[in-house]
A and B are shown apart, each in its own frame.
Chain A
Amino acid sequence: MSQSYNRGLIEDFSRWREFQAGMWAWIFHKFTGWVLIGYLFTHIAVLSTAIPAADGATMMFQGSETDVFTGTIVSLEGLLLVRILEVGLLAVAVFHMLNGTRLLLVDLGVGLEAQDKSFYASLILTGAITVASVPTFIAGAF
């Protein structure tokens, strides 16, 4: 199946307009999966500051001395970018969970005729949950 000719824009990314629900679900699932793996590493990095904190390591934070773990968390939460990224992280995690459930049903052979509807449902639900989470994550950030 070698491609010895060039069909211009047909074989490239402009194809996305022709994608169907199942293909979008697959792309989003891959994307959110990689984002979650990336998050896992930063998560471990932040949590690992608890190790020196347990031994009594401290840092200067806003003029007073706090332990390293609390200082790191509080200073991260103080960044507007981190607050916004947290909303994104929730959206990514929720979609991955809902679509994962959808894929589980697909693997069990349940409701394959409605696979596009369940994808749209998981998208809408993700949107709703993300919007609902905004007040909690962004409160006091601006």
Chain B
Amino acid sequence: MSTQTPTQTEESNETDAEAEVPSKGDERREEKRRRAAEERSRRQAEEAEKAAADEETVELKVFRYDPEVEGKQEPRFDTFHVPFTKGMTVLDALMYSRDTYDSSLTFRHSCRQAVCGSDAMFVNGGQKLACKTQISELEQPIRVEPLPHAEVRKDLVVDLEHFYDQMEAVEPYFQTNEYPDGELEEQRQTRENREKVKMSTRCIWCSACMSSCNIAAGDNEYLGPAAINKAYRFAMDEREGEDIKQKRLEIIEQEHGVWRCQTQFSCTEVCPKDIPLTEHIQELKREAVKNNLKFW
């Protein structure tokens, strides 16, 4: 994942050992770096020329920031011209840019087929899954930025620690104390119940909804759409039984639980898996009310 050039650490180690005198290796590396930079700028210029001549290139404006390298600490946008191929996604274009122009361009990706949820980014002003976003559907130049409302670690990589904490907070795993009679008996779920939780099981933890949520941006304690959706997935699962459901409702009906949602529908709009998040949050609100209503 890390595309940080290892030369930096090597360099500092060596300067510690044999003070000022630059070794042969240092010179060689310096030369290599210089040539690589030349090559890079040559290719970039070539590509820009091609872009001017040929319409089948895509212009990408990518957010760059690296707190560890002096000269990159000031956030900036780099422009990459990528030859367009049919079916190209934003992730494809980013990978091409990284492999061809600048190996220090950093972003998360893994499966490239919208399953792992690593590459949620802010593309042309919307939270998108880069591997699922067709370039042909976007206006150019394409602006690629890290997810808003999260701290940027480097380039397009943001700190998701808080998001994972919120997901953990709703205990996102199956729990029950109602077991079937036979020891080898399965815990069966009815088809209707499975259908009810179907959409909510599709979450890939990409954090796009959390980033789009206006409330979560201002309220650090708010569970956020993804976590509430996880809570929904288990609270609505009939196999968990009443006791566990009660426990789950107590988590989600806290002050910073479901009640912070103000139905802006941002999460539902950006979810790459089309989960009706707002609908699930609203249903949990009704469950919470029903749970606390007493007429005697």
Contact = CB atoms under 8 A, between A and B. Distances in A.
A112 B266 contact: no
A65 interface: no
A20 B269 contact: yes
Given A1-B149, A17-B125, A107 B285 contact: yes
A96 to B, nearest CB: 15
A11 interface: yes
A34 to B, nearest CB: 15
B241 to A, nearest CB: 24
Contact of A18 (B126, B264, B268, B286): B126
Contacts, number: 69
B119 interface: no
B interface, size bucket? 20 to 34
Interface stretch (A2-10, A84-92, A128-136): A2-10
A3 B152 CA distance: 8
B97 interface: no
A35 interface: no
Of A7, A25, A106, A113, most buried by chain B (CB within 10 Å of CB) is: A7
B266 A22 contact: yes
Contacts of B162: 1
Contacts of A1: 149-151, 162, 217, 220
B276 interface: yes
A51 interface: no
Contacts of B126: 18
Interface residues of A, number: 28
B83 interface: no
Contacts of B282: 106-107, 109, 112
A61 interface: no
Nearest to B262: A26
Given A7-B63, A107-B285, A109-B283, A22 B145 contact: no
30 contacts: A1-B149, A1-B217, A1-B220, A2-B151, A7-B145, A10-B148, A15-B125, A18-B126, A20-B266, A20-B269, A21-B265, A22-B263, A22-B264, A22-B266, A22-B268, A22-B269, A23-B214, A23-B264, A23-B265, A26-B264, A106-B263, A106-B282, A107-B285, A108-B286, A109-B283, A109-B286, A112-B278, A112-B282, A113-B276, A115-B265
Given A26-B262, A109-B286, 5 more contacts: A18-B126, A20-B269, A25-B264, A107-B263, A116-B265
Interface of B: 63, 65, 75, 122, 125-126, 145, 148-152, 162, 214, 217, 220, 262-266, 268-269, 276, 278-279, 282-283, 285-286
Interface of A: 1-8, 10-11, 15, 17-18, 20-23, 25-26, 103, 106-109, 112-113, 115-116
Closest 6 CB pairs of A and B: A22-B265, A18-B125, A26-B264, A112-B279, A20-B269, A22-B264
